[in-house]
Structure 1
């Protein structure tokens, strides 16, 4: 098992218990979280992307920003910030 900080450990134990994940599912989920943490902490070059929904396809006036890395010729999002049309900001990390 990967050692996570206490707050991250608590965060991921809750859904595992609520959803009654078998040990294999929890292990796979933890491995995925560890992979994204390692990418985020790595010194590799970053790419930044932005999307603004001017046409109302999702939430007119909403804006998304991503921090990403290229891994094995694929772009992998590490972090995301979303500002919805009301101005509320949500920050997402793939491992928190």
Structure 2
């Protein structure tokens, strides 16, 4: 695997690592939970809820990769691009550009 110098180079690779529909669905569930946890922390004024955000986000995604996709998450090699890819994929799913 080559190193990526721009996110636009990385994102097609990222999508290729998410071919399995169940994996993509688990990513979507985890990302939605992250949003809800952050909103809960803001609305309640209790930031202690925020520790759950990475557990929800990464937990669902990693189950998708190890159990369904049978690959190693890109987070370990490209943490920033992977995080960006998660949210781009989430937005594209909401807009119907990626099937979940």
User: Normalization by structure 2: what TM-score?
Assistant: 0.33
> Which structure dedicates a bigger proportion of its chain to strand?
1
> Which structure dedicates a bigger proportion of its chain to helix?
2
Q: Which has the higher contact order (CA 8 A, sep 6+)?
A: 2
